[in-house]
């Protein structure tokens, strides 16, 4: 903690955060974004807790609060709605405010009426519209007609859930242009004379209207589902949402004519009769999200598993089955998370309610524990490298989420807090992501010279222009690439595989040589091979292939990997020897080649076999 912050705390109480740990070689750079729910302020903090900036909203009760790419802020703020009694204490909001950097209100939208109340979360879509979660009130007679057990209906009815896409109308209001209603995707086996009757186990894309979570009291509390998180995948046009009281996450489609039943669900297979209590994985979780492209674990789902009834909270990372595949009569996979953190700390690592997770560019994960008024940053190896208390001071107190923002965040571009960052791409795949010792990277930035500091604090100058060979002595873990005025956090892994393409952009024909007998031919051009008398081997040129066990597939079929070695005279370039190629692939035509090390895959490239 800086001395200025230390003195400021005793003089005014403004600093107020208790920084108990900071490993400067491993912790991410940037700012910490918090919004205490008892305050109508949102804060941007330095890593040591010093307040870097403050926004002031119209009222307290902020739930999800997000910084937009244009530098404006959107705050969810609580309103009292008598049609939804007690909603404020359960994550209810109703008011959205967009503020500029100086706190001037630019836009407001209210979704709080007799039928709907916005709560818990929202997402800004690529088209600028906002996707909202809303409670949808259903009267007792509507619930009975849908097949709800009358013993599970509160006197005022039940609250279903809806997703509403709002097109803003500035300076106030908006138009609902897309909607999805849970009420349209139900199944029940309680009353054959009512709507939605069917076999619950055969309707895995629908929600059992009569399932009640262990902590729910449906006869008195209409808040039956309690969705609390929302995310959007632009590449697949899909929505990920989480239900606290079902202890489940769900994926649905988005877009005109879509938005149907669940494509995927995970966490509590009891809800759809594909498992027992021992099969439950989630326990009143929060903040389910897809890890963004270019980040370690990209495409996986990350969430905070609060662990209510289990005694500890955990950050869980899920590798979702391809195409959401599921065996008949079985629960959706995976069986266990690909990565988890929290169990090793037991009851000292726990938040009964709320909470957040965030995958960072250097592979670390930021975890917010509101009930413990604590935020930590942890490495993939499970080491806490930054630990801050958020219980006191101006920006302290219970906050729904904690978010880290890089100094190069576009929303900061017009402010004095902004610092530019270079772009780092794998030299072979031309994709962002983890890097590996002795591999090649490309750096695009304004500075002329670069260095990298690894997790041990060792600084290595990088030699080259445009493309740089990384030192073989780089330590595995978080690292930082720095120039004279720019820097960026990265992750160093043992293996970061990528394959060069003939056209240099990581796509199309791979930089692959085909070896048939004594003949060596470029495989990014048609290779004549009938597979009858001679074996075909492939020499694949890439980077980041050394340091781990490599496997390969061609047209989805496995190919033996005979070895990986440095390419003669080419610093940072590796060559993998593959083969023999299965004879059934003769005359296959254009085929896709992928190399893998564990869950790390290269960019797919093509070879041509005729």
pLDDT digits (tens, 9 = 90+) for 518-570: 899 999 999 988 887 889 999 999 999 999 999 999 999 999 999 999 999 99
Mean per-residue pLDDT of the chain: 94
pLDDT above 70 (res 12): no
Task: Kindly indicate the confidence band of residue 10, based on its pLDDT and cuts at 50, 70 and 90.
Answer: very low
| DSSP β-ladder status, 459-462 and 561-566 | unpaired
Residue 179: CA atoms inside 13 Å, Cβ hemisphere, count?
A: 14
Domain formed by 498-609, architecture: Sandwich (2.60)
Higher-confidence residue: 29 or 391?
29
- Which fold does the domain 423-492 belong to in CATH? Immunoglobulin-like (2.60.40)
Mean pLDDT to the nearest integer, 191-199 = 98
Distances (CA, A) of 439 to 43, 428, 542: 39, 9, 9
pLDDT above 70 (res 35): yes
Task: Kindly indicate the confidence band of residue 110, based on its pLDDT and cuts at 50, 70 and 90.
Answer: very high
Task: Kindly indicate the confidence band of residue 258, based on its pLDDT and cuts at 50, 70 and 90.
Answer: low
Rg (CA), the chain: 26
Residue 8's pLDDT is 35
**Per-domain residue ranges for the chain?**
16-412, 423-492, 498-609
Mean pLDDT to the nearest integer, 277-302 = 96
What does the H/E/C string look like for 94-130? EEEEEECCCCCEEEEEECECCCEEEEEEEEECCCCCE
| DSSP β-ladder status, 399-405 and 477-482 | unpaired
The angle subtended at Cα 227 by Cα 56 and Cα 361, nearest 5°, is 65
Q: What is the dihedral of CA 349, 354, 359, 362, to 10 degrees?
A: -50
* Domain 423-492 identical in fold to domain 498-609: yes
| DSSP β-ladder status, 207-208 and 186-187 | parallel
Q: Locate 478 and state its tokens.
A: 């978080």
Residue 3's pLDDT is 37
Classify 414 in phi/psi space as left (phi over 0), alpha (psi -120 to 50) or beta.
alpha
Distances (CA, A) of 74 to 32, 77, 101, 134, 135: 16, 10, 11, 17, 20
Residue 464's pLDDT is 87
pLDDT above 50 (res 382): yes
Give the Cα separation of 600 and 544 in Å (integer): 11
Give the Cα separation of 533 and 544 in Å (integer): 34
Mean pLDDT to the nearest integer, 267-278 = 97
| Kind plus residue range of the DSSP H or E element containing 8 | helix 3-12
pLDDT above 50 (res 290): yes
Tell me the per-residue pLDDT of 76-108, one tens digit each, with 9 for 90 and over.
999 999 999 999 989 999 999 999 999 999 999
What's the distance, CA 41 to chain centroid? Answer: 26
Give the Cα separation of 77 and 88 in Å (integer): 10
333-342, long-range: CB within 8 Å, 24+ apart, which pairs?
333/266, 334/266, 338/297, 338/300, 338/599, 339/297, 339/380, 340/305, 340/314, 340/315, 340/316, 341/314, 341/315, 341/365, 341/367, 341/378, 341/382, 342/305, 342/307, 342/312, 342/313, 342/314, 342/315, 342/367
Residue 328: CA atoms inside 13 Å, Cβ hemisphere, count?
A: 1
Task: Kindly indicate the confidence band of residue 7, based on its pLDDT and cuts at 50, 70 and 90.
Answer: very low
Task: Kindly indicate the confidence band of residue 273, based on its pLDDT and cuts at 50, 70 and 90.
Answer: very high
Task: Kindly indicate the confidence band of residue 14, based on its pLDDT and cuts at 50, 70 and 90.
Answer: very low
Residue 2's pLDDT is 41
Residue 217's pLDDT is 84
What does the H/E/C string look like for 164-225? EEEEECCCECEEEEEEEEHHHCEEECCCCCCCCECCHHHCCCCEECCCCCCCCCCCCCCECC
Domain 16-412: give its CATH code: 2.120.10.30
Higher-confidence residue: 412 or 517?
412
Only one residue has tokens 């969810």, namely 76
Task: Kindly indicate the confidence band of residue 259, based on its pLDDT and cuts at 50, 70 and 90.
Answer: low
Residue 13's pLDDT is 38
Give the Cα separation of 435 and 470 in Å (integer): 9
Q: Which of 398, 320, 359 is nearest to 89 (CA)?
A: 398
Give the Cα separation of 222 and 86 in Å (integer): 10
Beta bridge partner(s), residue 460: 452
Tell me the per-residue pLDDT of 157-174, one tens digit each, with 9 for 90 and over.
999 999 999 999 999 999
Only one residue has tokens 């400021």, namely 8
Q: Locate 412 and state its tokens.
A: 């900061």
Contacts of 328 (CB under 8 A, 6+ apart): none
End-to-end, the C-alpha distance of the chain in Å comes to 65
What does the H/E/C string look like for 308-333? CCCCCCEEEEECCCHHHCCCCCCCCC
Beta bridge partner(s), residue 522: 513
């Amino acid at each position: 903690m800086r001395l200025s912050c230390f003195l400021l705390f005793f003089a005014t109480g403004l600093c107020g955060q208790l920084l108990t740990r900071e490993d400067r070689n491993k912790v991410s750079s940037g700012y910490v974004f918090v919004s205490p729910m008892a305050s109508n302020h949102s804060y941007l903090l330095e890593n040591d807790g010093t307040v870097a900036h403050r926004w002031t909203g119209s009222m307290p009760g902020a739930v999800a609060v997000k910084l937009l790419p244009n530098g404006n802020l959107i705050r969810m703020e609580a309103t009292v709605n008598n049609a939804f009694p007690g909603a404020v204490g359960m994550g209810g909001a109703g008011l959205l405010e967009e503020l500029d950097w100086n706190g001037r209100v630019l836009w407001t939208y209210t979704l709080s009426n007799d039928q709907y109340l916005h709560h818990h979360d929202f997402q800004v879509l690529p088209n600028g519209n906002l996707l909202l979660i809303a409670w949808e009130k259903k009267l007792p007679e509507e619930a009975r007609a849908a097949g709800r057990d009358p013993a599970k209906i509160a006197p005022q009815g039940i609250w279903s859930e809806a997703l509403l896409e709002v097109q803003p109308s500035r300076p106030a209001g908006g138009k609902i242009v897309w909607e999805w209603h849970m009420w349209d995707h139900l199944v029940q086996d309680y009353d054959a004379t009512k709507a939605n009757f069917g076999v619950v186990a055969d309707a895995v894309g629908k929600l059992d209207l009569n399932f009640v979570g262990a902590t729910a009291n449906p006869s008195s509390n209409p808040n039956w589902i309690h969705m609390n998180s929302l995310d959007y995948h632009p590449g697949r046009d899909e929505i990920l949402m989480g239900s606290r009281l079902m202890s489940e996450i769900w994926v649905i489609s988005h877009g005109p004519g879509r938005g149907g039943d669940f494509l995927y669900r995970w966490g509590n297979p009891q809800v759809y009769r594909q498992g027992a209590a021992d099969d439950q994985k989630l326990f009143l979780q929060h903040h389910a999200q897809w890890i963004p492209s270019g980040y370690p674990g990209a495409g996986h789902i990350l969430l905070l598993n609060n662990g209510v009834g289990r005694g500890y909270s955990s950050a869980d990372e899920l590798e979702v089955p391809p195409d959401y595949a599921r065996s008949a009569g079985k629960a959706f996979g995976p069986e266990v998370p690909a990565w988890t953190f929290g169990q090793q700390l037991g009851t000292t690592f726990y938040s009964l309610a709320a909470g957040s997770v965030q995958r960072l560019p250097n592979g670390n994960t930021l975890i917010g524990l509101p009930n413990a008024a604590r935020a930590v940053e942890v490495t993939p190896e499970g080491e806490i490298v930054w630990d801050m208390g958020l219980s006191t001071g101006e920006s302290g107190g219970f906050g729904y989420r904690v978010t880290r923002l890089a100094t190069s965040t576009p929303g900061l571009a017009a402010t004095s807090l902004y610092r530019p960052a270079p772009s780092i791409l794998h030299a072979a795949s031309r994709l962002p992501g983890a890097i590996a010792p002795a591999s090649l990277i490309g750096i695009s930035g304004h500075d002329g010279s670069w260095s990298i500091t690894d997790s041990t604090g060792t600084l290595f100058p990088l030699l080259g222009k445009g493309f740089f060979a990384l030192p073989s002595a780089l330590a595995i873990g978080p690292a930082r690439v720095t120039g004279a005025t720019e820097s960026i956090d990265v992750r160093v892994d043992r293996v970061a595989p990528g394959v060069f393409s003939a056209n240099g952009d990581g796509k199309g024909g791979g930089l692959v040589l085909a070896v048939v007998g004594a003949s060596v031919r470029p495989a990014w051009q048609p290779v004549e091979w009938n597979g009858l008398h001679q074996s075909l081997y492939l020499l694949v040129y890439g980077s980041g292939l050394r340091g781990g066990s490599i496997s390969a597939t061609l047209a989805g079929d496995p190919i033996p990997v005979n070895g990986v070695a440095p390419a003669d005279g080419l610093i940072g370039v590796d060559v993998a020897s593959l083969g023999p190629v299965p004879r059934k692939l003769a005359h296959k035509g254009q085929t896709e080649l992928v190399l893998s090390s564990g869950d790390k895959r290269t960019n797919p490239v093509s070879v041509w076999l005729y």
